[in-house]
């Protein structure tokens, strides 16, 4: 039997005994309370009788109205006590005693009032005084006898109440004793049962736990019963088995950890070799204290030895070029706030001999406090002075190339414009009879070729300038740009019957001229390569996703085969199936160059049902 079942049986028997004895106990308490109340009331009645005797004696001595009034008041109190006693006392003997007491009190009241009346007559008597005195003596004797009877009855009533109180108290004592005995027996039985179970079942558990604690994880405690100790033994066995498995896993993990430590040491050595080979400086910054630990390369970049630079953040801050410090602080603050995954900054630091050295600083916070403040950051620094010098040279060369392109474009555009102008003049001013079919065709070819050359020079100029902003880079509303472009293409749209749909499209972070170039080229392509049997329908949409502006220009034109969708982004690439003499083959190359210079991307997809979808990704 389970221990809890045994304890429940003992508890149930104990509770049943208590339930049986509880009404008896309650009755004993009520009986004791009522007996005590009767005893108090009978004592009060007896005391009242003694007080009335005192008031009677005072009246006999002094024959004063005050004593008479007090006797009457005492009589009224006695009547009230007797009424209360009649409702409170229940024994037949007690009720008979109360009846006799009531009659005697009423008789004594009649006698007392006759004595009072006789006293008044005695005062006024003359020759008959002797008769009234004799009557007064007889009445007094009768009153004394009644008073003695009243005291005897009141005393007998009080004695009966006393016996009742003693009897109720004995009953109560017996019942409480039975309660105590039952409780003691239940406690003893429970203790004996638990003691026997503990001696019998706990010792094996204790011995087994000690064997397991000494390291024998293969030992299992025997459990042949079905009580709680057996369950505990099973739990200990399960825990021991789990501990055995965990120990084996821990041993394997320790072995693996040692291997990892060896690999980590090798990796650290290789990292140090890489840092040394790459001439990379490292730093370790305890942000709250301002402690900054760096390697020898850090000091070497600035022309110092490691001992010459104090390991404090101030030794770095005081050497940063003043004009670079604001942007360095701004990038640090953004990283500390969690706005950027890493800190990265190109800035200048002062060399020991006075010149400025360009460095690329990178770092990352690796520890935060409970309030979200940075505590510990590590990073690297690389001397990029030579790279910056090369970049400056490239920038100058790019500027010179841009200038050359602008001048060359101007000089190439001018002859083309003149060819167009003279071809038009010849066609309009030479008499018709002098222009045969070949001459007219030649003039048309000259004009067309010159126009194409002008367009080609313009697109080359746009391509070379596509990676540089041509105005302020800011958030630009796209919808007004598209509206403006469509106003300039209204004649072509009316001619082709094309329909362009667009709603409130999200803004893009770019300069306005290049944004206009992107959508102008895409709209031109959609209108130029329309399906010959369908009315051209172009849909433009844009939405923000994770801080990026994603635009789609969807048409139902002739489309681009999948194998050519990457190739068409090359310069001067035109599909033979889409050959168009008016196309320069640079438009999509210009779009990709603009988008990628902004940190975005552009791809081509097939429109469901036919056509081309251009997907643009730009900063939002």
Note whether 186 and 220 are same-domain residues: no
Domain end residue (candidates: 224, 244, 276): 276
Note whether 22 and 151 are same-domain residues: yes
Tokens encoding 26: 């309650």
Cβ contact 385:357 at 8 Å: yes
Statement: residue 2 has pLDDT above 50: yes
Domain end residue (candidates: 403, 438, 465): 465
Note whether 423 and 403 are same-domain residues: yes
**Structural domain count, the chain:** 5
Least confident of 299-303, 363-367, 571-575: 571-575
Please choose, from the candidates 480, 572, 588, 483, the residue with its C-alpha nearest in 3D space to the C-alpha of residue 525: 588
The model's pLDDT over 407-449, given as tens digits with 9 standing for 90+, comes to 665 555 667 666 667 667 766 776 766 666 777 777 667 766 7
- Mean pLDDT, to the nearest integer, of 241-264? 78
- Mean pLDDT, to the nearest integer, of 306-326? 92
- Mean pLDDT, to the nearest integer, of 235-239? 80
Cβ contact 299:305 at 8 Å: yes
- Higher-confidence residue of 91 and 319: namely 319
Q: What CATH number is given to the structural domain containing 41? A: 1.20.1440.210
Dmax over CA atoms of the chain, in Å, equals: 198
The model's pLDDT over 510-560, given as tens digits with 9 standing for 90+, comes to 999 999 999 999 999 899 888 888 999 999 999 999 889 999 999 999 999
Provide the mean pLDDT of the chain: 82
The model's pLDDT over 78-89, given as tens digits with 9 standing for 90+, comes to 888 888 888 888
Return the pLDDT at 611.
93
Residue 480 buriedness (CB in 10 A; 0-12 / 13-18 / 19+): exposed
Please choose, from the candidates 583, 574, 587, the residue with its C-alpha nearest in 3D space to the C-alpha of residue 462: 587
Q: Which of 110-124, 131-145, 467-481, 559-573 has the largest mean confidence?
A: 467-481
Cβ contact 571:587 at 8 Å: no
Note whether 90 and 28 are same-domain residues: yes
Note whether 371 and 515 are same-domain residues: no
CA 15, CA 9: separation in Å to the nearest integer? 10
Q: What CATH number is given to the structural domain containing 521? A: 3.30.565.10
| Distances, alpha carbon 615 to alpha carbons 401, 510, 551, 589, 592, in Å | 31, 17, 6, 14, 11
Return the pLDDT at 581.
47
Note whether 423 and 526 are same-domain residues: no
Domain end residue (candidates: 383, 414, 449): 383
The model's pLDDT over 113-127, given as tens digits with 9 standing for 90+, comes to 888 888 877 777 666
DSSP state letters, 102-149: HHHHHHHHHHHHHHHHHHHHHHH-STTHHHHHHHHHHHHHHHHHHHHH
Return the pLDDT at 452.
64
Given the structure tokens 């308490």, which residue do they identify? 29
Query: Is residue 596 assigned to a domain?
Result: yes
Note whether 152 and 14 are same-domain residues: yes
pTM, two decimals, is 0.40
Return the pLDDT at 552.
94
Return the pLDDT at 29.
80
Statement: residue 105 has pLDDT above 80: yes
The SS3 call for residue 457 is helix
- Mean pLDDT, to the nearest integer, of 26-33? 80
Note whether 230 and 184 are same-domain residues: no
Return the pLDDT at 496.
86
Note whether 160 and 18 are same-domain residues: yes
Return the pLDDT at 577.
45
The residue segments making up the domain with residue 587 are 466-619
For residue 193, give every residue at least 6 positions away whose Cβ sits within 8 Å of its Cβ, in sequence order, or none: 3, 6, 7, 10
Query: Is residue 459 assigned to a domain?
Result: yes
- Mean pLDDT, to the nearest integer, of 260-264? 70
The model's pLDDT over 459-488, given as tens digits with 9 standing for 90+, comes to 676 777 788 888 999 999 999 999 999 998
The SS3 call for residue 1 is coil
The model's pLDDT over 333-343, given as tens digits with 9 standing for 90+, comes to 999 999 999 99
Query: Is residue 209 assigned to a domain?
Result: no
Cβ contact 379:364 at 8 Å: yes
Statement: residue 455 has pLDDT above 50: yes
Return the pLDDT at 269.
59
Angle between helices 385-429 and 437-464 (to 10 degrees): 160
- Higher-confidence residue of 366 and 4: namely 366
Statement: residue 609 has pLDDT above 60: yes
Statement: residue 620 has pLDDT above 50: yes
- DSSP secondary structure letter of residue 198: I
Q: Which of 263-267, 277-281, 419-423, 600-604 has the largest mean confidence?
A: 600-604
Q: What CATH number is given to the structural domain containing 378? A: 3.30.450.20
Query: Is residue 23 assigned to a domain?
Result: yes
Query: Is residue 205 assigned to a domain?
Result: no
Query: Is residue 204 assigned to a domain?
Result: no
Query: Is residue 236 assigned to a domain?
Result: yes
Note whether 23 and 126 are same-domain residues: yes
Return the pLDDT at 575.
60
Instruction: For residue 180, count other CB atoms closer than 10 A to its CB.
Output: 10
- DSSP secondary structure letter of residue 507: P
Q: What is the 3-state secondary structure (H, E, C) of 574-620?
A: CCHHHCCCCCCCCHHHHHHHHHHHCCCEEEEEECCCCCEEEEEEEEC
Return the pLDDT at 501.
93
Note whether 38 and 86 are same-domain residues: yes
Statement: residue 223 has pLDDT above 70: no
CA 502, CA 554: separation in Å to the nearest integer? 11
Note whether 458 and 592 are same-domain residues: no
The model's pLDDT over 353-404, given as tens digits with 9 standing for 90+, comes to 999 999 999 999 999 999 989 999 999 999 999 998 898 888 787 677 666 6
- Higher-confidence residue of 169 and 127: namely 169
Query: Is residue 472 assigned to a domain?
Result: yes
Bridge-based pairing of strands 291-294 and 280-286 is antiparallel
- Mean pLDDT, to the nearest integer, of 583-596? 85
């Amino acid at each position: 039997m389970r221990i809890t079942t045994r304890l429940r049986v003992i508890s149930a028997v104990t509770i049943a005994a208590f339930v049986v004895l509880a009404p008896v106990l309650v009755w004993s308490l009520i009986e004791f309370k009522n007996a005590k109340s009767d005893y108090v009331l009978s004592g009060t009645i007896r005391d009242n009788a003694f007080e009335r005797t005192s008031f009677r004696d005072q009246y006999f001595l002094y024959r004063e109205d005050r004593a008479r009034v007090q006797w009457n008041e005492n009589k009224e109190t006695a009547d009230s006590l007797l009424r209360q006693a009649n409702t409170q006392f229940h024994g037949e003997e007690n009720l008979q005693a109360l009846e006799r007491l009531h009659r005697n009190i009423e008789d004594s009241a009649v006698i007392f009032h006759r004595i009072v009346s006789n006293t008044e007559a005695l005062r006024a008597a003359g020759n008959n005084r002797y008769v009234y005195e004799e009557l007064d003596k007889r009445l007094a004797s009768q009153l004394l006898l009644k008073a003695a009877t009243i005291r005897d009855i009141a005393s007998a009533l009080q004695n009966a109440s006393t016996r009742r109180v003693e009897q109720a108290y004995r009953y109560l004592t017996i019942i409480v004793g039975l309660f105590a005995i039952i409780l003691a027996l239940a406690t003893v039985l429970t203790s004996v049962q638990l003691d026997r179970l503990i001696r019998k079942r706990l010792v094996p558990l204790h011995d087994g736990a000690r064997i397991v604690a000494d390291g024998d994880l293969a030992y299992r405690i025997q459990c042949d019963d079905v009580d709680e100790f057996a369950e505990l033994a099973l739990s200990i066995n399960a825990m021991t088995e789990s501990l055995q498995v965990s120990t084996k896993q821990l041993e394997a993990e320790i072995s693996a950890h040692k291997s990892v430590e060896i690999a980590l040491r090798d990796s650290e050595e290789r990292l140090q070799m890489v840092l040394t080979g790459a001439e990379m400086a490292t730093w370790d910054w305890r942000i709250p204290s301002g402690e900054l630990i760096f390697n020898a390369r850090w000091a070497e970049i600035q022309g110092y030895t490691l001992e010459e630079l104090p390991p404090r953040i101030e030794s770095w801050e005081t050497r940063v070029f003043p004009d670079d410090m604001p942007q360095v602080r701004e990038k640090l603050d953004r990283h500390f706030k969690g706005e950027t995954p890493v800190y990265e900054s190109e800035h200048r630091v002062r060399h020991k001999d006075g010149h400025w050295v360009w460095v690329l600083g990178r770092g990352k916070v690796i520890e935060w406090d409970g309030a979200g403040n940075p505590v510990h950051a590590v990073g690297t620094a690389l001397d990029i002075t030579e790279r910056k010098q090369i970049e400056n040279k490239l920038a100058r060369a790019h500027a010179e190339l841009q200038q050359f392109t602008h001048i060359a474009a101007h000089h190439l555009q001018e002859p083309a414009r003149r060819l167009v102008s003279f071809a038009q003049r010849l066609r309009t001013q030479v008499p018709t009879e002098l222009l045969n079919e070949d001459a007219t065709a030649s003039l048309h070819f000259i004009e067309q070729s010159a126009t194409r050359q002008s367009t080609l020079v313009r697109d080359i100029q746009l391509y070379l300038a596509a990676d540089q902003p041509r105005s302020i880079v800011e958030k630009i509303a796209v919808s007004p740009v598209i509206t403006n472009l469509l106003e300039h293409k209204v004649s072509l749209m009316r001619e082709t019957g094309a329909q362009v749909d667009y709603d409130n499209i999200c803004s893009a972070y770019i300069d306005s001229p290049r944004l206009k170039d992107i959508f102008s080229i895409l709209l031109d392509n959609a209108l130029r390569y329309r399906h010959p049997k369908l009315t051209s329908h172009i849909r433009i949409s844009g939405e923000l996703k994770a801080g990026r502006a994603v635009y789609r220009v969807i048409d139902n034109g002739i489309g681009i085969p999948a194998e050519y969708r990457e190739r068409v982004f090359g310069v001067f690439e035109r599909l033979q199936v889409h050959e168009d003499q008016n196309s320069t083959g640079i438009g999509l190359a210009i779009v990709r160059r603009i988008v990628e210079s902004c940190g975005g991307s552009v791809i081509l997809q097939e429109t469901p049902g036919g056509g081309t979808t251009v997907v643009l990704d730009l900063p939002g």
